[in-house]
């Protein structure tokens, strides 16, 4: 780097940052990007950034660039973000928001002839790596994220990519002209020595390494994390074309300082990186010098800048002592010690190795052959989602990855509710499977602990768990309990209810009857209409509509009576999924429960779909209604995909069953299931997923509601938390169901890389219920795809 470029770099650092007011930022956001939001200033050294909280719940960052910034560099950042979003949409990076006419930035003329480039990027929630305690899994994740980011940039180039940058390691020797600013003579000698060494010994080796555009600043201030994992990376301001291995210098230099055993911290990061992109031996050997040179750059730049800003000494020089100590320590160790530790870390396999996956180019012939084999051995009637079926090979968080390596945003599967293949759950499963797996007839602590954890979340006398293996089995067992306890044998369910597959539960599931195939309700079953205020027989414009739906229970009970039955149980899926997804109106459930109980029946809350925080405001769907069920059935997300389920009820009800019979499930409640169940509860709590479901769900519903203004096909948006139904109609007065259109939208969204489903008696409701790790960025990707699919419909 030349002296002129240093002064240019200084110009950007020194040029006054833009100074727009908060109100001006709000006006710019509205006029330029159509974002109605309140603005709050964010820290920035050379630009001006505002966090925008939009009325619809979405959050953005308005970035007003320093007028001295090279517009080509801003363009490179924007193009890189767009590139990554396309090649690896599963990476959490800010999304670029275009202006309504499609421009990627907006320009403002300042009063003194300056021009300001303004961009809007999505705001990524999460805490900064700087603020959390480092543990080995997190260090590995930082390495893995650095590698994934670099992987996603492999095919990217931009004419500005070889720009001059103070933080470019390959340009470090040029800093020798600035070291005279270092007052401490001893420190200055060391720095000069290291720069000479870098120039003579390191740079020639570095120039031989593979190079590409890299992020170059995966720092503690730019990395977002939750307790367990890295969740995102921000700030693409230091992008540069440089040797790939340089990308590791920043996270290693910074995390070594946070860790009591710095070499172990470096080894974890390198191991995580190596698991994604294998590091070559030459690269491993270079890491020591790259890290110490990074520290040198920090020291030189700070000493240089502080000369012009003595009033800011504390801020500018804050990190210098630590960087100095780190250099001294590293010189003491020598390169060989660190190289050996890194080499060892790369040679040690991670505890649960995911098999190497080589994406094929989409092979239609292979897919056809698999479909045919499936048809033959699983039966031709077994449904297959989407016109273009998805051949999945791997899952991660909210992503399903297909055989071509494409990441599809999974907004359909509520079973892996803490995210596909969550490492905590996988670890718990593997560890317990490697230790012991038996049944509940032995003493095993985990089943007791798990039952205690589950029942602690339930109100009233719901204090006994019975473990089974599927939601259907749980509902089957609930039926046996209800019959034994009440002495009755009639059932009340919603029209179009679905509660599972066993013979008994099938009778409780009119959605499966195939009434069109001539089947009628079983003699002991009565139905009530779903309390559908949109298209049902009583609607929201009638202030009494909830009461009228409650009154239907009188008819159902009377109808059972005529046939010689009294109700043993009323079953309710709390999100009425098969009815087209809806939340019962206030007051409905307490009154309905009262009627059922007055007729001698029990109330069964089927939480198979709605449980474990999905509805956002509560862990269990029934809690929103102020009722306490007699029996609660749990399944699907309980094991994040492992076959497990549970019935939770009162000791008295269990005693009634045990008086007449026995209960034992061979694999229900086994130690592996309980280890997984406990891990799922841990993750839900630690990652605040219920709160996230409330927050992201509200934002997503509001975004889709906004789409409804442009797309008359959207009749109603409803649901709770991250269980959302979008009913499509051809006409807002007749409510003619738009089933064909719904199928087209779902298939088009699949093509666009977003998976949602279809629900409801008329197959016209879009079903959206992603893993709960879904965040605002994912919500925006979903609404973009939905918008496009609706526009093309
Ligand atoms: C509300 C409800 N209850 C029970 C079940 C049955 O669960 P499983 O398929 O695990 O037997 C389902 C399945 O979709 C369901 O939606």
Closest CA to 344 of 407, 284, 259: 284
CA of 605 from ligand 1 middle (Å) equals: 12
Q: Which long-range contacts does 186-195 make (Cβ < 8 Å, 24+ apart)?
A: 187/299, 187/324, 190/327, 190/328, 190/331, 191/296, 191/299, 191/300, 194/292, 194/293, 194/296, 194/327, 195/293, 195/296
pLDDT at 85 over 70: yes
Q: Can you give the pLDDT at residue 621?
A: 98
A 10 A CB-CB count for 537 gives 10
Closest residue to atom 14 of ligand 1, CA basis:
500
3 confidence band (pLDDT: 50, 70, 90)? very low
Closest residue to atom 2 of ligand 1, CA basis:
499
What integer is the mean pLDDT of 195-214? 96
Distance CA 45, CA 17 (A): 7
652 confidence band (pLDDT: 50, 70, 90)? very high
Ligand 1 atom at minimal distance to the Cα of residue 500: 6
pLDDT at 350 over 50: no
Ligand 1 atom at minimal distance to the Cα of residue 501: 11
> pLDDT tens for residues 273-290?
998 899 999 999 999 999
Q: Can you give the pLDDT at residue 227?
A: 65
Contacts of 524 (CB under 8 A, 6+ apart): 489, 490, 491, 507, 560, 563, 565
* 3-class secondary-structure state, position 289: helix
CB 217 within 8 A of CB 238: yes
Ligand 1 atom at minimal distance to the Cα of residue 645: 10
Contacts of 432 (CB under 8 A, 6+ apart): 446, 671, 672, 674, 675, 676
358 confidence band (pLDDT: 50, 70, 90)? low
Token pair recorded at residue 36: 């109605």
CB 719 within 8 A of CB 701: yes
Token pair recorded at residue 561: 């009576």
CA of 499 from ligand 1 middle (Å) equals: 5
According to DSSP, residue 640 is labeled: B
CA of 431 from ligand 1 middle (Å) equals: 28
> pLDDT tens for residues 517-551?
677 899 999 999 999 999 999 999 999 999 999 99
Residues whose beta carbon lies within 6 Å of some atom of ligand 1: 470-472, 475, 498-501, 573, 577, 606, 608-609, 635-636
Distance CA 551, CA 164 (A): 75
The residue to mutate among 635, 637, 673, 769, having the most atoms of ligand 1 within 8 angstroms of its beta carbon, is 635
Distance CA 103, CA 118 (A): 11
CB 39 within 8 A of CB 29: yes
Distance CA 525, CA 491 (A): 5
Q: Tell me which of 313 and 623 has the higher pLDDT.
A: 623
- Count Cβ neighbours within 10 Å for each residue of 377-414 and write b for 16 or more, e otherwise: eeeeeeeeeeeeebeebbbbbbbbbbbebbbbbbbbbb
Closest residue to atom 3 of ligand 1, CA basis:
499
CA of 87 from ligand 1 middle (Å) equals: 35
Q: Can you give the pLDDT at residue 2?
A: 46
Which run of H or of E encompasses 647? Answer: strand 645-649
pLDDT at 695 over 70: yes
Comparing 357-366, 381-390, 676-685, which segment has the lowest mean pLDDT? 357-366
A 10 A CB-CB count for 85 gives 17
CA of 442 from ligand 1 middle (Å) equals: 29
What integer is the mean pLDDT of 249-254? 97
CA of 606 from ligand 1 middle (Å) equals: 9
CB 744 within 8 A of CB 700: no
Task: State the DSSP string of 150-186.
Answer: HHHTTT---TTTT---TT-GGGGGGGGGGGGG---HH
Location of structure tokens 């160790």: 333
Distance CA 301, CA 172 (A): 11
CA of 497 from ligand 1 middle (Å) equals: 10
Alpha helices in 201-258 (DSSP H): 203-206, 249-258
The residue to mutate among 473, 478, 496, 499, having the most atoms of ligand 1 within 8 angstroms of its beta carbon, is 499
CA of 184 from ligand 1 middle (Å) equals: 71
The residue to mutate among 383, 471, 725, having the most atoms of ligand 1 within 8 angstroms of its beta carbon, is 471
Termini Cα distance of the chain: 54
Q: Can you give the pLDDT at residue 4?
A: 44
pLDDT at 111 over 90: no
CA of 252 from ligand 1 middle (Å) equals: 47
Q: Can you give the pLDDT at residue 663?
A: 95
Distance CA 52, CA 120 (A): 9
| pTM for this prediction | 0.73
Q: How many helices, marked H, and strands, marked E, lie in the chain? A: 24, 26
The residue to mutate among 413, 511, 575, 609, having the most atoms of ligand 1 within 8 angstroms of its beta carbon, is 609
Mean pLDDT over each residue of the chain, to the nearest integer:
93
Distance CA 372, CA 95 (A): 40
The sign one gets for the Cα dihedral 764, 787, 411, 575 is negative
The angle, 0 to 180 degrees and rounded to 10, between the axes of the packed helices 776-792 and 689-708 is 30
Distance CA 549, CA 530 (A): 8
503 confidence band (pLDDT: 50, 70, 90)? very high
CA of 395 from ligand 1 middle (Å) equals: 22
pLDDT at 1 over 50: no
> pLDDT tens for residues 741-773?
999 999 999 999 999 999 999 999 999 999 999
Location of structure tokens 């738009």: 738
């Amino acid at each position: 780097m030349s002296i002129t470029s240093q002064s240019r770099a200084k110009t950007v650092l020194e040029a006054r940052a833009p100074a727009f007011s908060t109100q001006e930022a709000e006006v710019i956001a509205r006029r330029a990007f159509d974002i109605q939001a309140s603005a709050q200033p964010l820290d920035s050294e050379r630009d001006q950034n505002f966090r925008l909280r939009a009325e619809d719940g979405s959050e953005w960052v308005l970035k007003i660039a320093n007028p001295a910034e090279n517009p080509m560099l801003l363009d490179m950042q924007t193009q890189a973000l767009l590139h990554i979003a396309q090649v690896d949409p599963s990476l959490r990076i800010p999304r670029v928001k275009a202006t309504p006419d499609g421009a990627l930035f907006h320009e403002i003329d300042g009063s003194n002839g300056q021009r300001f480039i303004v961009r809007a990027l999505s705001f990524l929630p999460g805490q900064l790596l700087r603020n959390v305690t480092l543990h080995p899994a997190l260090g590995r994740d930082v390495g893995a994220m650095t590698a994934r980011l670099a992987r996603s940039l492999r095919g990217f180039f931009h004419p500005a990519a070889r720009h001059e940058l103070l933080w470019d390691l390959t340009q470090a020797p040029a800093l020798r002209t600035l070291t005279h600013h270092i007052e401490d003579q001893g420190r200055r000698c060391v720095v000069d020595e290291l720069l000479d060494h870098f120039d003579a010994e390191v740079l020639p080796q570095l120039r031989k390494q593979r190079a590409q555009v890299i992020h170059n600043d995966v720092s503690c201030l730019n990395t977002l994390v939750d307790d367990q994992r890295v969740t995102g990376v921000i700030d693409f301001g230091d992008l540069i074309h440089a040797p790939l291995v340089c990308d590791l210098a920043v996270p290693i230099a910074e995390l070594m300082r946070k860790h009591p055993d710095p070499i172990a911290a470096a080894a974890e990061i390198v191991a995580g990186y190596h698991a994604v992109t294998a590091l070559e031996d030459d690269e491993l050997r270079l890491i020591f010098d790259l890290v110490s040179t990074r520290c040198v750059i920090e020291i030189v730049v700070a000493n240089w800048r502080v000369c012009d800003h003595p009033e800011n000494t504390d801020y500018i020089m804050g990190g210098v002592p630590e960087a100095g100590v780190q250099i001294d320590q590293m010189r003491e160790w020598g390169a060989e010690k660190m190289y050996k530790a890194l080499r060892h870390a790369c040679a040690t396999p991670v505890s649960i190795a995911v098999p190497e996956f080589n994406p094929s180019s989409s092979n239609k012939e292979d897919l056809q052959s698999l479909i045919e084999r499936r048809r033959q051995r699983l039966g031709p009637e077994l449904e297959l989602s989407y016109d273009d079926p998805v051949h999945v090979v791997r899952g991660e968080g909210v992503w399903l990855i297909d055989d071509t390596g494409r990441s599809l945003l999974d907004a359909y599967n509520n079973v892996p509710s803490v995210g596909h293949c969550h490492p905590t759950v996988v670890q718990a499963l593997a560890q317990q499977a490697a230790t012991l797996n038996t049944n509940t007839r032995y003493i095993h602590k985990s089943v007791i602990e798990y039952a205690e954890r589950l029942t602690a979340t339930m109100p009233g006398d719901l204090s006994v768990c019975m473990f089974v293996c599927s939601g259907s089995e749980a509902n089957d067992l609930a039926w046996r309990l209800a019959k034994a306890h009440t002495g009755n044998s009639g059932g009340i369910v919603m029209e179009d209810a679905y509660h599972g597959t066993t013979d008994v539960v099938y009778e409780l599931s009119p959605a499966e009857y195939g009434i069109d195939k001539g089947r009628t309700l079983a003699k002991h079953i009565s139905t009530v209409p779903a309390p559908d205020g949109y298209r049902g027989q009583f609607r929201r414009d009638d202030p009494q509509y909830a009461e009228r739906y409650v009154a239907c229970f009188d008819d159902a009970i009377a109808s059972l009576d005529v046939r010689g039955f009294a109700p043993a149980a009323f079953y309710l899926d709390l999100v009425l999924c098969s009815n087209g997804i809806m939340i019962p109106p206030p007051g409905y459930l307490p009154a309905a429960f009262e009627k059922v109980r007055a007729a001698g029946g029990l109330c069964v809350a089927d939480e198979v779909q709605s449980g474990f925080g999905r509805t956002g405001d509560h862990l269990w769907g029934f809690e929103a209604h102020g009722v306490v069920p007699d029996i609660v059935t749990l399944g699907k997300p309980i094991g994040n995909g492992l076959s497990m389920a549970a019935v939770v009820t009162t000791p008295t009800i269990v005693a009634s069953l045990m008086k007449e019979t026995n209960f034992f499930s061979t694999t229900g409640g086994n130690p592996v299931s309980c280890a997984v169940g406990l891990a799922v509860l841990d993750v839900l709590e630690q990652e605040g997923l219920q709160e996230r479901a409330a927050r992201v769900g509200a934002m997503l519903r509001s975004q889709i509601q906004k789409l409804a203004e442009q797309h008359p096909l959207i009749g109603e948006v409803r649901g709770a938390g991250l269980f959302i139904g979008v009913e499509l109609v051809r006409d807002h007065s007749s409510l003619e169901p738009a089933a064909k259109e719904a199928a087209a939208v779902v298939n088009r969204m699949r093509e666009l890389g977003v998976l949602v489903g279809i629900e409801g008696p008329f197959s016209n409701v879009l079903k959206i219920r992603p893993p709960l790790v879904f965040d605002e960025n994912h919500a925006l990707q979903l609404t973009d795809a939905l918008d496009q699919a609706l526009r093309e419909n």
